[in-house]
Amino acid sequence: MNSAFNLVVLSGDGSRLLRVRVPRWVVWGAVGMIAAGPVAGLSLSGSLALVQHQQGRITELRQETDRQGELIEAFRTRVAAVRGELAEWRTLHRKMWEAFGPETAAGKTTGGIGGPALPEPTPVGPLRPAEELETLATTVAEEGPRLRELETLVSRTGEIMSQLPLLWPVHGHVTSEYGHRPSPWDGGDEEHQGLDIGSPLQTPVQSPAAGTVVTASAGGDYGRHIVLDHGNGVRSLYGHLAEIDVKPGQQVEKGQTIGRVGSTGRSTGPHLHYEILVRGKPVDPRGFLWER
């Protein structure tokens, strides 16, 4: 078998003839290279397209990672804010319990103290979002019973507050405050146990809270006067009345007219002498009265 190809090259004018002997493997190699060229081009083009696709996908993943990072940071910021709000609620709860609950002031212990000595908690690094959420959920669950207890306390306190004489029985200028004052008769120092509220004759005097009439009588320095019992050791007194519209043992409602302003008894002119007594002792009514 012939192992070579003979190539005949003829000049353009036909005057010369050139014969070239080319090995068969060279010819077939050249043919193979020519045939492989398009295939290699297609393969290279496909690889380039795949690389470009992968680069686009990597860019998308980076953008998605950035978005997730922003969401996580926003989540942590919100968790921190909620924790701060819960801490403020805890402080408020503690203050309210200190005001209405058992006395816990420093240095006022009435018994022994004790308990196991527990080690200090080990500091931990930043929590993952799932752990942050779990911790927050636990804190909220712990605050739930406290809030319900506080709701019960506020409800009971509201009931007590509704029974207290917190409103003004008449409207008018206070002509004499609670405490020491010069006597309007001889100028000497005397103790005034209530407020004198100037108001025209026959002005209705209204009960500042519900209560029971324990006194409705005339005579003495107070002239015609009424005493109401509001419960919880709190009573109110209304003196120098022109008229009394209730009787002992009667139940009165908040805002009900119980008498009329006058100037009976030891008085220099029309006004209402208003006292509040706590467990039998007079106190400054302004400590109970809301601002008008």
Q: CA 276 to CA 169: how far, in whole Å?
A: 12
Look at 21 and 68; give whichever has higher pLDDT: 68
Max intra-chain CA distance, the chain: 164
Give the whole-angstrom CA distance, residue 106 versus residue 158: 28
Q: What is the mean predicted confidence (pLDDT) over 201-214?
A: 96
Domain that holds residue 34: 4-74
Structural tokens at position 74:
């926003």
Q: How far apart are CA 272 and CA 285, in angstroms?
A: 13
Residue 253 CA from chain centroid, whole number: 36
Reading phi first (left if > 0) and then psi (alpha if -120 to 50, else beta), residue 109 is in: beta
Examine residue 148 and state whether it is found in any structural domain, yes or no: no
For residue 114, the model assigns a pLDDT of: 53
Is position 139 within any domain?
no
* Domain assignment present for 118: no
Two structure tokens written together for 222: 């107070």
Q: Specify the range with the lowest mean pLDDT, choosing from 1-15, 68-82, 108-122, 146-160.
A: 108-122
Last-in-domain residue among 74, 108, 125: 74
**Range 286-290 average pLDDT:** 88
Q: Is the pLDDT of residue 105 over 60?
A: no
Please report how many Cα atoms fall inside a 13 Å half-sphere around the Cα of residue 265, on the Cβ side. 20
Structure tokens at 233: 């050791």
Instruction: Judge whether 167 lies within some domain.
Output: no
Question: Residue 152 and residue 101: Cα distance in Å, rounded?
Answer: 12
Q: Does 205 have pLDDT greater than 90?
A: yes
In a domain, 111, yes or no: no
In sequence order, what are the residues at sequence separation of 6 or more whose Cβ sits closer than 8 angstroms to the Cβ of residue 231? 163, 211
Instruction: With respect to residue 144, please indicate whether it lies within any of the assigned structural domains.
Output: no
Rounded to 10 degrees, the C-alpha dihedral 75/81/87/91 comes to -160
**Domain edge (last residue) among 22, 53, 74:** 74
Chosen domain end from 24, 50, 74 = 74
**Least confident range of 22-36, 94-108, 144-158, 216-230:** 94-108
CATH number at residue 279: 2.70.70.10
- Residue 264 in contact with residue 242, Cβ under 8 Å? yes
pLDDT at 110: 46
**Percent above pLDDT 70 for the chain:** 66
Whole-number Cα distances in Å, 52 to 59, 120, 184: 11, 56, 103
What's the angle, vertex CA 166, arms to CA 165 and CA 171, rounded to 5? Answer: 100
The burial of 150, by beta-carbon neighbours within 10 Å (0-12 exposed, 13-18 middle, 19 or more buried), is given as: middle
- Calpha distance 30→19 (Å, rounded): 19
Q: What is the tally of structural domains in the chain?
A: 2
Confirm whether 169 is domain-assigned: no
Residue type at 292 in one-letter notation: R
Residue 41 lies in a domain: yes
